[in-house]
């Protein structure tokens, strides 16, 4: 079980990275839940599988950095959008006659 789970975890990290880059939150959530399930099910690992799991640490960190960056980009985009609408205007209720603006954060 351990070796198969680690192999799947490595593949999930690649797929998760693609989902993060595409800002696909639904897929990121699915992968996060699957990763958690795999890690919970690992149990006691052989030395070889422990080393394989440690080898995935850089990819886990990389995805975490990408997620944090995506969160910051979206937060900053929301700040800009709110500023353009005026500090007192809630983002859910636009003034009469004002069309919603589309905001691209993909660059």
Q: Is the pLDDT of residue 57 over 90?
A: yes
Q: Provide the whole-model pTM.
A: 0.67
Check: CB of residue 64 under 8 Å from CB of residue 77.
no
Segments making up each domain of the chain, as ranges: 2-85
Q: Is 100 exposed, middle or buried (0-12, 13-18, 19+ CB in 10 A)?
A: exposed
As a whole number of angstroms, the distance between CA 107 and CA 104 comes to 7
Q: Is the pLDDT of residue 92 over 60?
A: no
Percent of the chain scored above 90 by pLDDT? Answer: 41
């Amino acid at each position: 079980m351990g070796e198969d789970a680690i192999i799947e975890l490595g593949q999930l990290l690649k797929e998760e990275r693609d989902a993060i880059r595409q800002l696909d939150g639904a897929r990121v959530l699915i992968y996060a839940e699957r990763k958690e399930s795999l890690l919970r099910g690992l149990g006691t690992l052989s030395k070889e599988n422990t080393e394989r799991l440690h080898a995935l640490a850089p990819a886990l960190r990389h995805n975490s950095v990408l997620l944090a960056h995506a969160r910051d980009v979206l937060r900053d985009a929301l700040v800009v959008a709110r500023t353009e609408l005026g500090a007192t205007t809630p983002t859910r209720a636009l003034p009469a006659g004002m069309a919603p603006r589309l905001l691209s954060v993909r660059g």
